[in-house]
Structure formats: C-alpha cells, structure tokens
Amino acid sequence: MSNECPITIFWFRRDLRLHDNAALFHALKENKKVQCIFIFDKNILDDLKDSKDVRVAFIHDTLSEIKQTLNSYGADLWVFHDTALDAWQKILSQNNVDKIYFNRDYEPYALNRDQELNILAESMNIDVCTYKDHVVFESHEVLKDDGNPYVVFTPYKRKWMSLLESGRLENNYDVLKAFKCEDYLSNLNPVDEPMAFISLGAMGFEKTNIAIPSKEVSQSLIKEYGDKRNFPAIHGTSRLGVHYRFGTVSIREKAAKAIVLSETYLNELIWRDFYSQILHHFPHIVKESFRKKYDNIDWRNNKEEFEAWCQGKTGYPIVDAGMRELNTTGYMHNRVRMIAASFLTKHLLIDWRWGEAYFAQKLLDYDLASNNGGWQWASGSGTDAAPYFRIFNPWTQQDKFDKHKAYIKKWIPEYGTPQYPQPIVDHKEARERCLKTYKEALDNN
C-alpha cells in the first residue's frame, strides 16, 4: 500500500453510494488520486448482540457492490476491520496521504471518533475536509431568529421550508442539487491489485434470510402516501428507512421528488432533520429525558411484562402484531411503533430506555436521533410530545387503523384461538395507574 505521490482518502460511513455523495464529489473534483476506504468499527460491531445482525450483512453486501464498481474503473475500496483510530493510524503510517474527506455524522459517538481523527491528522499536517450529506439542513442552519434551536416541530418546519425556498430558482433548489461524482471518476486512485475483501464470517457475522426493502419506490406510492401511510396492513410507506440510515439513497434526490409528489412525505423527511438537530443540540437525551422532570417517573419495570412485550405476547393484538413484525423482519410500521411504544411506557410503565434499546437492536432503520425522538415522544418526555394524559387506547387505534384485522391476522396466526394470551393488563386500570404515576412525578417537581 505504499505510495510515492500523495493520495487523498475518502472515508465511507453513513453514505454508502457512489452517486450524489457530497464529500466524495469534492474529493474527486479537487484531487487527482482519491482512494476510498471503509472501516468496520470494532467498537460498534463488538456491541452487537446477534451474529446474524442483518445490518452488518447489508453494509457488507453494499460495500461489495461498491468495490466491484470501483474495480471496474481500475480503482479499489480498502476495507478495514479495526477500531477507527487504530485503522487510521495504520493507513496514515503506511501511505503518503495529503487530505482526508468525509461526510459529517452528528451522533455523539461519531463526533468523538471524528475528533480523534482530526487530532491525529493535524499532528501529521494532513487536511481534513468534511461535508453535509446526511441531512438537508444541519443543526446550525435552522435556528430561531435569536440563534436558539427549535424544540417544537411546526415552527422548525416553517423555517426549514423558508430556507429551502430562499435557495430556489424555478424548480431547482440549491440545497438539493446533486453532486455529480460520476463526472470525476477518472480521479480515483488507480491500483494494480485490489485489496482482499474481509468476509462477514471473519468478523464473526453471518447472513440471514431477512430481506432488505427495495430502494426502488414507485411514484404512485409517494403520491398516495398521505392517504395510505397510517394503515399497517397495506404497503403505503416507502420502507426506505434503512437506505436513509446507511446512505444507500440520497436524501437530496428523495426530498426533491417529495416536493413534487407529496407534501406529507416531505414532512416526514423534515422530522428526520428535526430529530437529528435535537440530538446535536441536546446530547443529554441519549441517556436522560429531554424534559428532565420526566426522569422522576417511578417506572414499574416488570421484567416478565417486558419480555411479553418483546415477544409480542401482551394480549393486545395491535401491539403484538407490531412486535412480531419487528422480530421477524427488522421493520415495524410507524403507526404501530407509536402504539407499541406508548403501550410499553404508559400501560406497562416500563422505562422508555428499555424499549428504545430493544428497537435499537432490532430495527434495520435504527437511527439514534429518530429512535430516541420517537420513544421520548411516546413516553411524553420529549420535544413536542403529546401531553402525558393523552394516552393511546390500543383498542380504538386497532379499530381505526386495522379495521379488518388483516395486519393482526398476518402476524398472529393463533389470533382468536385459546392459544392467544389474555390482555396482560386491563386498559382502563392501566390508564388510571399511568395517570397517577405520571402526575405524582410531575407535580412534585
């Protein structure tokens, strides 16, 4: 791997694509020999509990495709399995590197990791160039007039839209313009021999049968999204979450389509930016409630009830169907995520952090900012949360959004037989218990 003229490194992270990739575009446009790398970060992989974690297999498959494409241009993708800092120490000591490019990541772990690289690079006089790619607007771009962050969605959205409009020329929006990496692929670093590609098995993982939802979404689905998105029995949402998470699709491209096809879909993409900036401005939410007094709630945290919830055996069909969908596919419909999360925190009075951790383990589209946002919303402790006394009734939710029980029957084959459990709690009693517990916690502070 030693090189005489300097190479420039582009580091793939949450942006696993060769098209419309901001940092890759700038690296290729501004440099002559761009070498792409990826690091399977041991700090992250070692924390995963399941050797069949489908997200790792998905990343591996995606990298394999990228590597093949790069090989077809006479270039390569170097893949490492190490802690990020150790990998960088090796890369920088074994190669003559002049610059490093990557797209910004706003999670606390990533910010620390990138800061360590900055320090290392600075000590070696290597420039680090970073770009926005994962979101449409970053946390410092959408602020109130007084410079403070928004904590309520509607005014945030208004400002977000006005920023979008301010960079508009007819149907083109500055901020959504594609970065045409394909124009500069001749600036990739040519290699004689591609580097061997580490196998999943060598990292302690294996493939599963869980399928990744397709990247291709029809225009009609997005057009009808507003009418259909709340009904879990139909395929009415895009299922692109996993692709947004790992950057296998471009947020700019999808937002530009949404502007034309569906305001409701665009709204959901704005929620994604919203939660990303909340995490960036208020990193305490990773461990604590956004509204601190909610940390005084006297959770029951009953382990058997938690287990029943995880397995989809609470006797509340809409909750159970959702949990079984999650356990089987790594996906759960948004409406059902809200119902299942509300049930865990309010009906069972189990700490939202338990549910959040379970979703983090299982969801293909797991994203710290959106998952935390969703859980804190459901438990009432988050930004823009519904008042705690508004408690979802799982029975009416079920009647409204799965009227013909198609979703329930799909996921609970024993539904309607004696094998299906009786409700773990009575709705009315659980509701009253929740109101009392929340009131005590919040009134005392």
What is the C-alpha separation between 193 and 173, in angstroms, rounded?
A: 42
**Minimum CB–partner distance for residue 272 and ligand FAD (Å):** 4
Tokens (6 digits) for 279: 């995490």
Contact footprint for ligand FAD (CB under 6 A): 229, 237-241, 244, 268-269, 271-272, 275, 334, 337-338, 341, 359, 363, 365-367, 370-371, 373-375, 378
**Minimum CB–partner distance for residue 68 and ligand FAD (Å):** 27
List the catalytic residue out of 88, 375, 377, 411: 375
Q: With beta carbons less than 8 A apart as the criterion, state whether 279 and 285 touch.
A: yes
Q: Which is nearer to ligand FAD, 84 or 258 (CB)?
A: 258
- 3-state helix vs strand vs coil in the chain, percent to 5: 50, 10, 40
Query: Burial, 5: exposed, middle or buried (Cβ in 10 Å; 0-12, 13-18, 19+)?
Result: exposed
Task: Give the Å distances, CA to CA, from 40 to 3, 97, 120, 203, 306.
Answer: 23, 21, 19, 9, 32
**Minimum CB–partner distance for residue 3 and ligand FAD (Å):** 39
**Minimum CB–partner distance for residue 100 and ligand FAD (Å):** 28
Alpha-carbon 273 to chain mean position: 11
List the catalytic residue out of 224, 299, 302, 393: 299
Cβ-closest position to ligand FAD = 374
**Minimum CB–partner distance for residue 169 and ligand FAD (Å):** 26
What is the C-alpha separation between 13 and 63, in angstroms, rounded?
A: 11
**Minimum CB–partner distance for residue 58 and ligand FAD (Å):** 14
Q: Which is nearer to ligand FAD, 104 or 254 (CB)?
A: 254
Note if 11 is an active site residue: no
What is the C-alpha separation between 51 and 205, in angstroms, rounded?
A: 5
Note if 377 is an active site residue: no
Torsion over CA: 121, 127, 132, 133 (sign): negative
List the catalytic residue out of 3, 95, 302, 334: 334
**Minimum CB–partner distance for residue 333 and ligand FAD (Å):** 6
Q: Which is nearer to ligand FAD, 99 or 322 (CB)?
A: 322
Q: With beta carbons less than 8 A apart as the criterion, state whether 13 and 94 touch.
A: no
Residue whose pair of structure tokens reads 């408690």 in the numeric block: 391
Residue whose pair of structure tokens reads 């609970």 in the numeric block: 412
List the catalytic residue out of 3, 141, 230, 271: 271
Q: Which is nearer to ligand FAD, 277 or 370 (CB)?
A: 370
Tokens (6 digits) for 378: 């459901």
Tokens (6 digits) for 295: 């940390």
What is the C-alpha separation between 271 and 312, in angstroms, rounded?
A: 28
**Minimum CB–partner distance for residue 113 and ligand FAD (Å):** 20
Q: Which is nearer to ligand FAD, 25 or 244 (CB)?
A: 244
Q: Which is nearer to ligand FAD, 294 or 359 (CB)?
A: 359
List the catalytic residue out of 352, 354, 377, 411: 352
Q: Which is nearer to ligand FAD, 99 or 324 (CB)?
A: 324
What is the C-alpha separation between 378 and 343, in angstroms, rounded?
A: 9
Note if 352 is an active site residue: yes
Note if 334 is an active site residue: yes
List the catalytic residue out of 268, 288, 296, 302: 268
The crossing angle, in degrees rounded to 10, of helices 303-311 and 317-329 is 70
Query: Burial, 361: exposed, middle or buried (Cβ in 10 Å; 0-12, 13-18, 19+)?
Result: middle
SS3 of residue 36 by DSSP: strand
The crossing angle, in degrees rounded to 10, of helices 317-329 and 352-362 is 40
Q: Which residues contact 132 (CB under 8 A, 6 or more apart)?
A: 22, 103, 104, 138
Q: Which is nearer to ligand FAD, 236 or 421 (CB)?
A: 236
Q: With beta carbons less than 8 A apart as the criterion, state whether 295 and 388 touch.
A: no
- Residues serving a catalytic function are 268, 271, 299, 334, 352, 375
